[in-house]
Amino acid sequence: METPHYVAARVQRALAEDDRTAELGIRVDVRGEEIYLRGQVSCDERRRQIENVAREAAPGLRVHNEITLVEVQEAGEEEHL
């Protein structure tokens, strides 16, 4: 079996370098046959693409897509400096 450490590194690079994702901020953890994806994205389509790219980069592993969707709120509070 391939060392989980290197699998995680390969998936992380694929998420950054694949044109479908271009995501640098996704955390990838591999434990045995399971792979966990964590982070935040702004739409469901992007979340799905991340899962697809991860699955291709680590065939045979079970992908747990734990990425959260951040729904952008209108305007935040004011801060007086």
Q: Interface with other proteins by CB under 8 A: which residues?
A: 19, 22, 24-25, 39-40, 42-43, 45-46, 70, 72-81
CB of 69: closest distance to other proteins in angstroms? 11
Cβ-based nearer residue to other proteins, 28 or 54: 28
Whether the CB-CB separation of 54 and 30 falls below 8 Å is answered with: no
> How far is residue 22's CA from residue 50's CA, in Å, rounded to a whole number?
9
CB of 26: closest distance to other proteins in angstroms? 10
Dihedral sign for Cα 22, 56, 36, 12, please.
Answer: negative
